[in-house]
Amino acid sequence: MSRDEGSVQAPAPAAAGQARRALAALCVTEITSWGILYYSFQVALTEVTHDTGWSATAAMGAFSLGLLTSAAAGVPVGRLLDRHGPRKVMTTGSVLGTGALVAVAAAPSLPWFALAWVLTGLAQSMLLYPPAFAALTRWYGPDRMRALTTLSLVAGLASTVYAPLTALLVTHLGWRATYLVLAVLLGAVTFPLHIFCLIPPWPTASVRSRAQSTARVRDVVPSRAFLLLAAAMCLAGFGLYAATTNLVPLFISRGISTTTAAIALGLCGAGQLLGRLAYPVLTRKTSPRARTTAILAAGAVSIAALAAIPGPLPLLIAATVVAGAVRGAYTLIQATAVSDRWGIHHFATLNAIAIAPAGIAIALAPASGALFAAHLDGYPAAFSLLAVVAVIGAGLATGTAAGHPDDRAPDHPEGALARGKASS
């Protein structure tokens, strides 16, 4: 990136009242979207397999196919966000998601069930964190960290709200009727909030500025820092998600009861909230490269500890909480790593490209962790391999400085101060 591009100032944040209403709306729609489009299936899976006769592997494969579709669709959705803004994109996602869930409920066979989850994956790409993060990053500009943290903390309650609700519905209605109810709920909650609340100004691009945007993206994406960032996030995300989604079988393999293992998994979830609360403090005290490296390294250490330490239980719990905290902070790294290094211009497109490999890796992570355990003589050996993968990710993160003074984006006030000192 040239010095002239680096000196461009971030656009002024949207009107405060509109931005606050948009943030409140996104908090509600993200809880709903995550709860219905992601967490509900984990609760309904047993009933789905019992009713249809499909294997759990096949049914989970259909769900994973949707996650892979969401990751693949992220890049074109990011381009649409940069060009048209979140209101049209996320409203379209609300409509598509409602129809996709109806298709899930009505699927007469496994292939149709898988196709319905592909449609659901397209909706996920328009409704889950990436478009919401892109919207808040653009609207809040230099003040984006507080908004992003608020959203991730509130949306972190999605499983707390929707897992019990889904279980109640499945028990009384069966899984097909449950998904019809959830489809109506998704549309009723997200559609009006997206269309009426996501209204802060979004700049429209001229033909010339779109050409400049394309040139800008082509300039950043092949850079060493960008490629290393994408690789680091991919490897670390794979290690973290494969480990945390396989915590229960790891604990059971060490002779710990299923109930205690489930409690440990819950504490991992609590750790995610701690990580998200701590992340804004790190942004004030560290550079983007330093905190990314430190957080990913902490995740690798926690996974290695879970692999190597047979007990006592409190020590395993401590490693579990640290792994959860890293996973929580990882969500905010995904939201901020690109804007911290390259600013907020064309953020949706650049961020979608950066996190696409991680999205694919995370979709494959749960099944991969179990597969590693089956071929490596148990979960401790599998976790050792996952720790190595995470270490490599942390190592790659050391090369993700974007070339700005003090490793900060041009719209970061401390980065601007550092540039002023360097040129004086």
Helices 313-342 and 347-375 pack at an angle, to 10 degrees, of 150
Q: How confident is the model at residue 256 (pLDDT cuts 50, 70, 90)?
A: confident
Q: Is 204 left (phi over 0), alpha (psi -120 to 50) or beta?
A: beta
User: Of the candidates 145, 162, 131, which has an alpha carbon nearest to the alpha carbon of residue 35?
Assistant: 162
User: Of the candidates 357, 238, 243, which has an alpha carbon nearest to the alpha carbon of residue 304?
Assistant: 243
Q: Tens of pLDDT along 339-352? A: 889 888 788 889 88
Average pLDDT of the chain, as a whole number:
85
62, 114 Cβ separation under 8 angstroms: yes
pLDDT score of 212: 53
Q: How confident is the model at residue 8 (pLDDT cuts 50, 70, 90)?
A: very low
Domains along the chain? Answer: 12-197 (1.20.1250.20), 214-423 (1.20.1250.20)
The mean pLDDT of 153-181, rounded to a whole number, is 90
Residue 39 structure tokens: 């967490």
pLDDT score of 205: 54
C-alpha distances in Å from residue 102, one per residue of 37, 109, 123, 180: 12, 14, 13, 6
Chain Cα centroid distance, residue 273: 14
Q: How confident is the model at residue 115 (pLDDT cuts 50, 70, 90)?
A: very high
Note if the pTM is more than 0.95.
no
d(Cα 240, Cα 248) in Å, to the nearest integer? Answer: 14
